[in-house]
Each structure stands twice: as C-alpha cells, then as structure tokens.
Structure 1
Amino acid sequence: MPLVQVSLRRGKPAAYHQAIFDGVYRAMRETFNVPEDDRFMTLTEHDASTFSVSPTYFGIARSDDVVIIQITANNTRNREQKQALYRRIVELLGDKPGVRPEDVFINLVEVLPENWSFGHGIAQYAVDPR
C-alpha cells in the first residue's frame, strides 16, 4: 500500500497532475506488485519561495520543473524492484506529461506493515488472525 506525495512548482494544469498520478501508479503496478485500486496520492504545488531544490547536486542539471515524488511503502521490496520502479517512473513521466529525467526526484520511505491504518483505527496489515 504505497502512499505517494508529489511536490512541484505551482502553475501546471490539471492534466499534467493527472499524468503524474497515472504514471507513478502504473510504474508501481508494473514493478512493485501494487494491486488494482491501491491508489493513495496527493500533490502539492509550491510557489518559488516555498520550493527549494539544488540545481546541480550529484552533477544533475535540474530545471524549475523538478517533480519530487515521495513514496511510503512496506519494506518488502528488494533492490532490483526499487531500481525498476525508479526507471519506470522516469520513463513514464518522460512520455507523459513530458518531465525531463533530470527533473524526477524520487524518495522511497520504507515502513513496517503495522504502521498503516486504512480506516476504523485498525492496523489492517497487523491484525492478529486468532
């Protein structure tokens, strides 16, 4: 059950936002075995004064169109799956809505299954089956 939080500079149209959601979700389905309908995503736009990203860290030339994608997920995927996820997100977002590979910043936060509640105040992944 990944939770995706996207941050970017203000000014992109709704179709751009939707393309990001669709691309990230498709990449997770293809590489992380995320089930259909397991889609929990937010997007926050920022003014220039509240969005600061290094234009050159790690020798990567970033533009003002950087998209920061933070994915919180269970710590159940291996290194190969993570690398595949990163590559696929970049591929899909490059295709639509046209984000440059240099402008896709991804952070994966891994948590234990009992750290989720999908409603009713229950940790559904950690329920004791007894």
Structure 2
Amino acid sequence: MPATRIGTRRGWLGNRRGELVEAVQRALQTGLLIPDNDRCIRLTEYDDDAMLAPPEKGPSYLLIEVTLFSGRSVEAKRRLYAALVEELEPLGIPAGDIKTILIEVDSVNWGLQGVPASEIDLGYKIDV
C-alpha cells in the first residue's frame, strides 16, 4: 500500500507522463511484491527555478519518494531500486538521475477506511 511521489523538472517528459507513472508502478510491484491494483502514485513537474538538483544531473532527474509500511527486507528494497533503474531506462532516464527515498511508517499510523491499516487484511504480505 505504498504512496509514491515523483518529482522532476517540467518539460522533458512531454506526453510520456503516463509511461513514467506506469514504469514506477511496475517497479513497485517487482520490488515490493504489491498487487497491480495497489496504486497510489503522484507526479509533480517543477519549473526549473522551483527544483534545485545537483548540477551534474540531467533534465530527467527524478526524486522518487515512496511512503510505505515498515517491514520490508533489505532485499526487497534492493529489488525496488534495481527495478526502478530497469523500468525507467527505456524512457531515457540514466541510473544516475534517479534518487529514491523510502519513508517507512508503522501501519498503525496509516488510516484506511476510517481505521488503522494495522487492523485491515491488505491481502498481501508486507514482510517480503
């Protein structure tokens, strides 16, 4: 049940926004073993003066923040990082332009349907 936010500079994506979002979704499925219907991804494009990135990064520089329940293994996180690079490469995004930050939240601090997520059967495992 991750919630993902992608930030990048405006203009370079053109009409490929959907492709980028779907590529990130596939990487989340591969890395975290979430089902296809578990979708919550937001893409924000910033004007050049509203996103300060390292000077050596290209126009396709991405900051991907994934807020997720605590409990994933280091191996699952490695799978995710590698899957992001693999899925985004066809869009011309070099590995060096991808920065991923995982924000882990205890499921008791995540509300779904008016109750803590810790009290809901999500239908899949978190401790992968």
TM-score by length of 1: 0.84
Aligned AA (1:75): S
- 1:6 is matched with which residue? 6
Specify every segment of 5 or more residues in structure 1 that has no aligned partner in the other structure, as ranges. 56-60
How much has 1:81 moved relative to structure 2? 1.1
Superposition map of 1:1-130 within 5 A: 1-11=1-11, 12-15=13-16, 17-55=17-55, 61-95=56-90, 97-119=91-113, 121-123=114-116, 125-127=117-119
Displacement of 1:23 in angstroms is 1.2
SS at the partner of 1:72? strand
Amino acid paired to 2:57: R
Matched residue type, 2:20: I
1:107 match: secondary structure: strand
**In the alignment, residue 86 of structure 1 is paired with which amino acid?**
Y
Amino acid at match of 2:106: L
Q: Is the 8 A contact 2:58 2:97 kept in 1?
A: yes
| Alignment gaps of 5+ in structure 2 | 122-128
3-state DSSP of counterpart to 2:111: coil
Give the TM-score taking structure 2 as reference length.
0.85
SS in 2 for 1:82: helix
The SS at the match of 1:81 is helix
Take 1:118 and 1:110, find their aligned partners in 2: how far apart are those partners? Answer: 16
Structure 1: 4+ residue segments shifted above 3 A: none
RMSD: 1.7
Task: Name the residue aligned to 1:58.
Answer: none
SS in structure 1 of the partner of residue 115 of structure 2: coil
Deviation at 1:128, TM superposition (A): 8.1
